[in-house]
Each structure stands twice: as structure tokens, then as C-alpha cells.
Structure 1
Amino acid sequence: MATTEFKAALIQVATERGISAEDVIESIKSALISAYKKDYGADLTEEQIEEITVIVDPDTGEAKIIKDKKDVTPPGFGRIAAQTAKQVILQKIRESEKKVLFDEFKDKIGILITGQIFRIENGLIILDIGKAQGVLPQSEQVENEHYRINQRLKVYVKDVRTGPRGTEVILSRSDAELVRRLFEQEVPEVSSGVVEIKAIAREAGSRTKIAVSSNDAKIDPVGSCVGQKGVRVQAIISELFGEKIDIIPFSASIEKYIAAALSPARVTGVEIIEDENRAVVSVPEDQQSLAIGREGQNARLANKLTKWKIDIKGTKGVFDTTEDTSSQSTENRDVVGVWDAAIEKVNKQLEDSAKTTEEKIQENTESEKTESTQ
């Protein structure tokens, strides 16, 4: 390596990569001692090798082997020194690039980014996300989503790792937090903090329930998330390839919260069993199937959303959300503590604010049609 090349390389890594020249030179010294030991140290003891030092001229890159204060540099060692210096500098550059990428994407864990699929291999989806490689493993994919080369996807950054292939960014399409980030992106009231997403329960690719509240009494949290003519929630549904989304109002009253979580079913009573963290919910006979949902999904998501075990009681029997859908009990249980005068009030609130997404969209659309004809 010529004199100007060596110094220019040191300056380059120092200014462009943030690696000090002293650090590079110390790494070169360590590498040269290893090279000397390998090629010329067969007849030396460990103690003698430990006494060897290396001097590297920072201007010329010339290296000398010093032992007992004497220059014992073997003939031809300069060529080895030059090759070693090149390798060390290149290695330092690669390490620096890895660290920069790792630090950059580590700060992006938990956010939403957009990538483009450029390779599919062994079940892994590899996305171009800029400087790094994004990996969508099978465990983070949605079963009924179909991925193709050049497809653009919004993905949730779940983790960042360093490996033999460099910095790998682990992405997710199935994480419930992806839905949260999509609402933050589409709904200004959510991104500003006026509307808060209190909980999310998701079965990726099929259905999601979210509970929302408002920090402003004038702002309807459900309506804000649905948007005019449903445009906001429809944008999210489209991004999730048709996944159904139920938006319900959060309530500090666990009875109201559980009743809303079971929407679109109409609830007539809720009994809270505190010591078991369990709720027994009464529904009319014609609402029991709706409350349970297909293969128990509606009840299961309500259970996940509220963090309460929910038994749904109708004339057909009791459905336990903690059990498999095939193990429904036909046992009749009396429900104590059913709301009395409050039942009608709660149901009216649910009709006004806890409608399913589809009902809310239809209501908004019909309202605008009426206004336009006046």
C-alpha cells in the first residue's frame, strides 16, 4: 500500500465512518503480531512472542517488528504488513456499517415502515426497506395473505439482529401492534393522543377488536376511528386484505366494557365474579350465536380484549370462553346481579356508540345522502 493510500484510507475511515485512526492502527498492530506468530514464530516461546511489539508509521503505514528494543522485521514482511493493513481497514469499515445500520433500525423497533418484497425463499419473505434487509418469518406472516415479488407492504418492526449476512430487521404482519400503528397513521385523533387505543385483540387475517376512549368529551372515539363514510377504517381494512375490525368504546365499568366487547350481540345482563376474574353474561336466545361468534371467535376476542373470562348464558346453555368451542355446557345457571333499570340505558349506549364497524359506516353514509338531498 503506497504512503498516500494508507494515510488517505485512515482519513477516510475517520471522517466518513467515525472510526479513529488510532483504533485502526491498534487493530493493524494486533493483526501483524498474529501474522508474525503464524509465519515466523514456530521457534519462539509464548514468553518471547509476548515480548514482541509492532510499530506502525501512521504516515507511511510501514511496520516494524521490535524485540528487545531491536528491529527484527523479517525480509518481505512489508508485503504482509500492507495486505494486513488493507484487510483491517476493510473489516473496520464493514463493522462500522453494521453498527450504524443496527443503531438506526434499533431505534425503529415498534414502528410501522413500508418495504418491497424482492425475494421469497424457504418460507421467508425478504423485503427491501432501504439500507438493511427486512425479514418476514413464517411466524410473523398472516396465513391467508398472499405475497408476491415487488409487492409493497406496510410492516411492523419487531426486532433487529446482527448475523453473518449483516443487520437483519425482523418484521411482522400478524402482530396486534401493527393494527395500532395503522390507526395512528390513518386517524389524526389517535396520533395526537386525543383518542386512545386502550386494548387490542387480534386473530390476524380474520378479525380484530379494538377498545378506544376519548380524552375530549366532544370527540366520539368510535366515530373518529371509523371516519366519514368509513374512509379511515376502510383504508386499514384494505391494508389488512379484508380483515374485519370491530371498534368499541372503552369503559371503566367492567360490566359495560364486557357488554360492548361482545358487540354486535345485544347483552341483557352481566354478573361479575371478582375472585375468579370471571363474568357471566346474559343474552337473548336469538343473540347467543352472535355473541359466541363463528367457532367461538367473537367471545374469544372479547375475552382477550377485556382480560376477563366470559361465560355467555342464553336459553341454549352456557358458553365458556376459556374452553374449546366443542365443549359448550348445556347446564343452565342463574345469573345474580343482572342490571335492572340500568340495562335499558346500557343497551341504548351500545346502540349509539358500540356498533360494529359495518353499522357505523352505513349510518354515516346514509346521513350524508340525506343532507345532500336537502
Structure 2
Amino acid sequence: MSSLQILDVSKQYGQTEILKKINIDIDDGEFLVLVGPSGCGKSTLLSMIAGLDTVSSGDIRIGAQRVNDLHPSKRDIAMVFQSYALYPNMSVEQNISFGMEMRGVPKDERAKAVKEVARMLQMESLLSRRPGQLSGGQRQRVAMGRALVRKPKIFLFDEPLSNLDAKLRVDMRTEIKKLHQRLGATIVYVTHDQIEAMTLATRIAVMKGGELQQLGTPAEVYNTPNTIFVATFIGSPSMNLVPSRLERDGDAGGLALLVSGVDGAAPLRVALPPQSAAVQAYAGRELIAGLRPEAIGNGNLVKSASTREVRAVVEVTEPTGPDTLTLLRLAGHEVTARLAADADYRAGQEAEFTIDLAKLVLFDRDSERRIC
């Protein structure tokens, strides 16, 4: 396996800028997920790592080697595509071993490698079948097996699960994670599905409009999003965002958050726990306050110095089994709370809820970047 460096990489098609000075450092054995909406440039970046597209400026390094001008066949990379790209007239065994045959690997070595990979992916019984006789999940396993027998420096996955149904996606996600843990492989994985990103990655690169919005562990990206875009793109349901104002609270240098009232509702004033100097500097200014749904509870949150009680009106409840997603009206704003599974509310009911301000994230209203 090998490390990967993406240094100030940009891509233009004519006057159109697709990628803008992307910098990502990937250690040997990491699982990096490139995530973002369609058209953000993640697949273009993957193609440039693979050598299927050229770099307009910047460098791509695999290990210590600059590979910008290196032919794809010389980069020692294996790619798993969204479309599987299997040969329909070949058996599973032939599909897996075909690349090795083209490289002149002896027959007995090919057979040994295919047997090892088939056992790893639990598809020994499928080796004599052709792709047309396989399910979507089985075809994806074959595509992964073809990549695995090469034992490359880096694996590239281009939205490999997007053609599968919901249950199969979950099963294959687990298989890919097990595979990474077993092999310690360096993997770069492209998806638009933020749940795939959160569950698979050791680090996530969130992209938008050709720019890197944030690079961090799943916990960092989820709990301390750099921008409002990251806050809303990562997490299901996404982070609640409400326009607010930061005000001085008393003579001891405290702060309060004044949530502006809408649709005739009264504003909501909430005293904040001690804040950083960066937040203190925003006293008297408008900003955007963010809270994840699980930071709003009805008795399922442990009360502490950072929790506060607020009143809100219930609009909709959605039991999910382990918890209940509840749409509330807080100072007239719609917010989603993740409540206890036994939460029992009716539409229109006003009740008291707990918010955990230790999980509060504040954003600059104009730049949409995180303040703290």
C-alpha cells in the first residue's frame, strides 16, 4: 500500500474551472471518502488520481513519486466502477483473473490469487457463473475481486453502491469496511451519500463547487462543521439552523442567544455557557445558530451546566424504532429533535424540551463559516 498526496490540484476545461487548488494528504492505509453533491468535482479528482484525466496544475504523488504524467497502467492503482464493467462472455473466475493474464502472470499464480480473493469475498460458489447470472451485489463483489487480485498501492472506488437497493447497499458497505480492516488498504472512495461517507471513512473530504469545504474525521466533520454547507450536507436529519443574535447577558461578561421569532411567535432568549473569545467578539451581531437533532431532547438528555429548558410546539412525530424524530416549532422556526423512542406527543401540543448548548455551533451570517 502507499500514501497519496494531492497538492494544489486544479482542473479547467477551457474557461470553466472544475477543481480549485485541492490539497489532501492521505496516509498509508487510510480510507478517504470524497463526498459532495453531483457536479462538485469528486469524480473528476478520482479520474485524475487514476490517470484517466489530466491535471491542469498542481501535483499528485503516490508514495514519493509524482505521477501527473505517468500512464494509468504504471500507477499501480485498481479501480472499482459504479457500472461494474465486467466482461459478459467470461465467467467470474475469468473476469477476476483476466488482468493478471494480460500481465503474463503464470496460470498457477492466477488460480491461487483467484481462490484467495473468492474466499475473502465469500463467492467461491460463483466462480463458474457469468455476470448475467449474478445479482447486483454479486457483480459488485466480482468487480472488487478483480481489483483485489492486483494487490495495488491504492484502491479507487467510484460510487460502487449507487446501483444497489437500500438493504444491499448496507450489506455491501459492511463488506467494504471489513475488507479495509482486513487488508489495511489505502482507499479513495467517491460517493454522494453522506451516510456511506460517515460509516466507511477514516477521513472525509467534503466538496462543493470544485472546492474542498472540509477535511477531517467523521466526528470532526459532523460535530464541528466548517461551513453551513457541511452542517446541512452531513447528518441525517441535517443540523438545525436558526437566525439569531448574540447579546450580552448581565455584568459578568455572559452571553445570551436571542432566537428571532417568526410567523408571529415571540423571540426566544437562551443564556449561554462560557464562550470563546472568538464568539465573545460577535456580541451584538446577527449570526446563525446550529444544533444537531440529538442535542434537543425530552428527558433522554443528561442535564448539566450546558443544558437549558425551552418550550416548543410539536408539529409532526416520526417513530423510527430506536428513537422518535419530532418536528418542532421553536420561536416559530421549524427544528427537528431526536427524542426517546417512547416519546408520546400529539400535533399542536406545546411542551418543554431540553437543549444541550455544549453541542451548539455558531456560524457567521455572511461568510457562512463556523465561528467556534
TM range (shorter): under 0.3
TM-score (structure 2 length as normaliser): 0.27
TM-score for the superposition, normalised by structure 1: 0.27
The structure whose RCO (Cα within 8 Å, separation 6+) is larger is 2
